[in-house]
Amino acid sequence: MTMLKELNQYENLGTPKFFYELFQQLSCVSRQWTKNNIEEYFYNRIIDGRAVFDGCLVLAEAVGAVIIDQEGFVSLNPLLQTSLVNENYLSNKLLEMIIVAVKNDDIFYEIFCSEHISYDIIYRLIQVDNTAFSFRYANFRQLLVSFTFLYPHPDHNIKKFLINSRYKKLFDKELMTEIRKRKIGIDELEKTLEQKLIYGREAEAFVLKYEKTRLSAHPYVGNIEIISDYDVAAGYDVVSYENNSSVEYDMFIEVKSFVGVPNFHWSRNEIDVARIKKNSYFLYLVDRDKITDKEYIPMIISNPYKEIIEDTSVWDKRVDSYFITQL
């Protein structure tokens, strides 16, 4: 049984304030604690508006924050002793332990899958659909909200949660590699397509570096980033700025790699986005044979819908698949 499946039977998985008080009590060497002692201690208490703490100790044990021995005595993981400086410090450390614990949980990737996560270019944050959690895992959603890992989208008409920017590095480091793998799909894990994925990532990394070098004097150069990992339906891979005076994203870059004569596949969705965004949409064509050359500049096409789809004199186009429905 996965950790999240086991935890979904509980009403409350805890809050930073609850765990801070619990761990402070466990850190007192003058007393030994059992599960019953802990239940008695928190009986009739209200912490963060909650009076039921049924899943808190279960979660703490599952992520390795506490240890319960064969005799039923509960002790604090010694590594957390130094985190009891204040509630906020402990919250960050415990959240990291929770994220590390769920990174091998299949249910977590059913929630945080490419179908449910996307990228908000206004707030420059990863977002996840509210419906991704369903009623079954509402307690896990509330846990992540309590730890400020998630917070409701400021636009109340958008039924999504944003991932706190403070934890983006943690999310990328611990979880994004597995999310990327699962995004590909079982049928696409064949060697040829996997190699294409590797080529694509190398080209995206090259373009990211190219854009950051080109705009090194831009005050928001750190906001230039690859968003295709978070939003598969965006229709572009990289968000950037056209020049140093741009204050909002105004370059939406789709990256394609090739060898020899420039060639690429362009999806229906990408074409539609290019048509809508017009001059703010760019194709960066990256030659894999030249990608390591220090002075190499990729082929850059502005407004590719006009330059490629509408202009028939430069690019040869052919349909290699059809979408078919019964009449």
For 244-273, how does the pLDDT look when each residue is reduced to its tens digit (9 = 90+)? Answer: 999 999 999 999 999 999 999 899 999 999
Distance between CA atoms of residues 206 and 67, nearest Å: 46
Are 59 and 14 in contact by the 8 Å Cβ rule? The answer is yes
Distance between CA atoms of residues 135 and 231, nearest Å: 24
116-163 pLDDT, tens digit each = 999 999 999 999 999 999 888 999 999 999 999 999 999 999 999 999
275-315 pLDDT, tens digit each = 999 999 999 999 998 998 889 999 999 999 999 999 888 88
Q: Show contacts of 267-273: CB within 8 Å, 24+ apart.
A: 267/235, 268/323, 269/233, 269/235, 270/235, 270/236, 271/305, 271/309, 272/235, 273/234, 273/235, 273/236
161-171 pLDDT, tens digit each = 999 999 999 99
Are 289 and 327 in contact by the 8 Å Cβ rule? The answer is no
Q: Name the pTM for this structure.
A: 0.75
Distance between CA atoms of residues 75 and 50, nearest Å: 24
